[in-house]
Chain A
Amino acid sequence: MESTIRTVEIMREKALAVQTVFTTVAGLREAFSYAVELTGSQGGKTLAAPGLGGEDRRELAALCEQRGISLVWENLRGHLGRIHTGFTVAQWGIAETGTVVLDSTSEDVRIASMLSETHIAVVPRSAVKPGAVDLAGELQEMMKRPGSYVAFISGASRTADIERVLTIGVHGPQEFHILISGENGG
């Protein structure tokens, strides 16, 4: 448990170093409020939460409605250019580089995480590993599946192609938020 706290601490440090917004939430409910609050405060009108279903979706939809935000969760190609926030649940976190591992096999997950202005990724606290090598086995299993698309995401889209000046948001999201979910030691 002590080591999980330390691992998350390292992840925070590494994530902040690449301009990622890093925070912790108790669970999915709090993550929903965070996403809706953030979208609203940035003037966003559409939130995409690919693959979200059942009670979770109803709950998020209700929060969105209160803020006048429309929630989309499937057929995201139909919403290209209109998605403000992409909300995804990632499989793992890699502390040593502040990285989120997101199974992006679904096209909708890719669109939500690539073509939004702000990308929010929720990572279960128990899924934060110290290094990429600690995940080699799990990643290999994922990659064995035909048609799989696995993304390591470590910050917002960036470039330094004009006079080496670091500029955020060239192609993908201009902001990247990591929400570590679950109680300490949970």
Chain B
Amino acid sequence: MITTPSDVREYRRDLKRALRNQFLGNTLETFASAFRISRARAFEGIDLPGLIGEIAEGKDASIQRLEELFQSFKTHAEAAGVKVHTARTALEANALIASIAAENGVKRIVKGKSMTAEETFLNDHLEKAGFQVTETDLGEWIIQLRGEGPSHMVMPAIHLSRKEVAELFTRVTGTPQDPENIDGMVKVARRELRQAYLEADMGITGANFAVADTGTIGLVTNEGNGRLVTTLPRVHVALVGFDKLVPDLPSALRILKALPRNATGQPISTYVTWITGATQCTTAPEGRKVMHIVFLDNGRLALARDPLFSQALRCIRCGACANVCPIYKLVGGHNYGHVYIGAIGLILTYFYHGRQNARAIVRACLNCQACKAVCPAGIDLPHLIKEVLRTVLETEGRKPAKNRLLARILPNRKLFHFLLRRAYLAQRPLTGGGEYIRHLPLFFSPEHQFRSLPAITGTPLRDRWHKMAPQVKDPSIRVALFGGCLVDFVYPEQAAAFLELVKDRNVQVEYPQDQTCCGLPAKMMGENTVAKAVAIQNLKAIDPADYDYIVTLCASCGSHIRENYPKLLGDSSGFGVKMHQFMDKIIDFSSFLANVLKVEPAMFREGGPKAAYHAPCHLCRGLGVTQEPRELIGTAGMEYAPAKDEDVCCGFGGSFSLEFPELSAELLTRKLDCVEAAGADLLVTDCPGCVLQLRGGMDRREGKKIPVKHIAEALAEQKRANGRRSG
């Protein structure tokens, strides 16, 4: 039986234990790297965004008419000799399948891999009812023998080493197994399971597709066990979620084009099987198989009617959202989901397995958007995760202190900024006047010591603006600077660097004083009301009609405004047009310099540090900007040093790093290791949040400390050096 902690403290204990498992960490790291390459190769020559769009559109259309598709499926399948059932709940499905087994005098059952059967805990039910159940997918068989749940939707036993499997097989067969002979262990399974197929009276499978217009089920497997399970026993039961219904074969083929490529990087899985009705079976009465198909609701039909969460039913169970998730990579599926794992697991757990199982794990999301970028059905996974979190918090009515504090302070800009100024004074005993907080206040535990926290500045950007603002008579470009809290109150020097770079370019830059936090921290904590309130304040503070561009040095602010403002405000808020104009004019620093100012090498010193680049999640995926910053490094005369996993999250994730410091610390360590391995003597990035994390981590790091700069600072330095040379 699977247990998932409902308490964050308990959950963190599990996470720490998982972080100590070196085999797991190495395996999943290697897998993530290999997956990235094989997936890219598998999609070569395919219009992937186009395919994702088509799948999403097709799935959405089906989700709207599941009951109609079901009726069509049922009519066709029953005409072909199948009995089609519906089960409203997991319990109903299990009981139904047990009664089918009993009616047919079944003793032994073989199973093909089915996440839906995992969802209902079908095996437990059947075994309690006295049936002997054997999983036949190798990975599923292994975890069944160990009494575990799958740790990945496609590779259920990825968390186990060859040594653990050898020990298990030694116990099962009574013959010593050599862990280095994987082929030999696979042959053990072949032998043992062959016997199970031959003796079984009934086969149970799931289905990847239920094709409505012919009543056909489609099964995708690599091992071929699905074919044996559906061929040898005289009874076949398929347990199928309502979400697997597709109108016709072309819809299924479209999904099939993406499924294996996105799951395992294969152009196609070895066996794809299409079964229409009761097939020939010479050992069954009348020579036809006894076939039943059970459609599982278990909350799906209600989910289908929700305007937002229905998206979750687009999932085709490829498992890729786990493969690319920085957290999954650290702790594995047993610590990142309940039955369903990975990003989609955090969402489905809430709907299929309840709040108690979802409430702790759903907090563990960095909002790095890696899952969203890899999803073949275009599901907005990070958004749905945050919406589940919000729903959980609102349902429970007992919000964490940080939420209550945020809700009190953030909507009142003057209070918020007053407190930030006060914090400067309060921190002085902790900073010793330096740039970092050297001694963390007592409410931080030692686990938060993995990075130094920066000191809050004595004079925030907004207070020094009148002295800094460039005076331009007849500007050719009018810019509003959107600072964001970190640039305003922690790193005003990043804004100064920006001004230095636009100097002499006839650019007027203003800092509208009523602007406030973009609202992302509130959205991350599920506080949508607060996020909406500050969004409106920003729309009031900056009238897009007054500017050609709204530049931000913070990728997180930029991507939050562009992506989440419409979700928070909708078009009925009265701000619809201004909001869209705002979104259209917002631009990140690197894009502004590269594409608007079109800066040239002549402006910078030739030669400079060897610079590695960290691609902020909210820039490369949130705003889709990837080329500009890398080109700027070269334009500014520095040597670009490519590093491994440049676009993998640094582990900041705003308040995530406070809630899960152990995960944040590990992600940071890996990131800095990659930078060091690249042989860089400077690390640049274009988000002050990432700067905070990376610089703080570098400060605490043993050994070589590579300076970390916002790309604006690095460029300004190169410009200054050029001025010194020519001057």
Contact = CB atoms under 8 A, between A and B. Distances in A.
B276 A146 contact: yes
The dominant DSSP class at the B interface is: mixed
A147 to B, nearest CB: 5
A97 B267 contact: yes
Going nearest first, the 10 A-B pairs with the smallest beta carbon separation are A172-B224, A146-B80, A161-B139, A152-B272, A97-B268, A157-B224, A161-B138, A150-B274, A171-B224, A143-B214
A150 B273 contact: yes
B279 A147 contact: yes
16 contacts: A106-B280, A114-B227, A133-B250, A140-B214, A143-B249, A146-B79, A149-B273, A152-B268, A152-B274, A154-B271, A162-B182, A164-B34, A167-B182, A170-B190, A172-B224, A172-B271
B250 A170 contact: no
Given A98-B267, A107-B279, A161-B139, 16 more contacts: A18-B270, A77-B282, A96-B267, A105-B279, A136-B253, A139-B274, A143-B214, A147-B80, A147-B276, A149-B275, A152-B274, A153-B271, A158-B223, A162-B160, A162-B185, A169-B190
Contacts of B224: 114, 157, 170-173
A97 B468 CA distance: 62
B159 to A, nearest CB: 10
Contacts of B485: none
A36 interface: no
A147 B288 contact: yes
Interface of A: 14, 17-18, 75, 77, 80-81, 96-99, 104-107, 110-111, 114-115, 132-133, 136, 139-140, 143-165, 167, 169-173
B352 to A, nearest CB: 25
B513 to A, nearest CB: 56
Given A133-B253, A146-B81, A163 B186 contact: no
B138 A170 contact: yes
Given A143-B211, A170-B189, A171-B193, A161 B155 contact: yes
A145 B225 CA distance: 24
A159 B280 contact: no
A162 B138 contact: yes
Contacts, number: 175
B158 interface: yes
B280 A167 contact: no
Interface in B270-302: 270-283, 288
B183 interface: yes
B253 A159 contact: no
Which of A146, A162, A163 has the largest number of chain B CB atoms within 10 A? A162
A143 B138 contact: no
Nearest to B198: A80
B214 A147 contact: no
Contacts of B276: 143-149
A171 B190 contact: yes
B277 A147 contact: yes
B526 interface: no
Contact of B274 (A77, A149, A171): A149
Contacts of A140: 214, 248-249
B316 interface: no
Contact of A162 (B157, B211, B227, B278): B157
Interface in B233-266: 248-250, 253, 256-257, 264, 266
Contacts of A167: 182-183, 186
B29 to A, nearest CB: 12
A45 B187 CA distance: 21
B165 interface: yes
Contacts of B6: none
A42 to B, nearest CB: 16
B186 A77 contact: no
Interface in B141-190: 142, 155-158, 160-162, 165, 182-183, 185-187, 189-190
Contacts of A145: 276
Contacts of A18: 266, 270
Contacts of B267: 14, 17, 96-98, 154
Contacts of A170: 138, 186, 189-190, 223-225
A9 to B, nearest CB: 16
Which of B139, B198, B224, B273 has the largest number of chain A CB atoms within 10 A? B224
B223 A157 contact: yes
A146 B227 contact: no
B269 interface: yes
A148 B27 CA distance: 41
B231 A164 contact: no
B280 A157 contact: no
Given A143-B216, A158-B270, A162-B162, A110 B227 contact: yes
Contacts of A161: 137-139, 142, 155-157
A162 B198 contact: no
Contact of B231 (A81, A98, A114): A114
A75 B280 CA distance: 12
B256 A132 contact: yes
A51 B31 CA distance: 44
Contacts of B277: 146-148
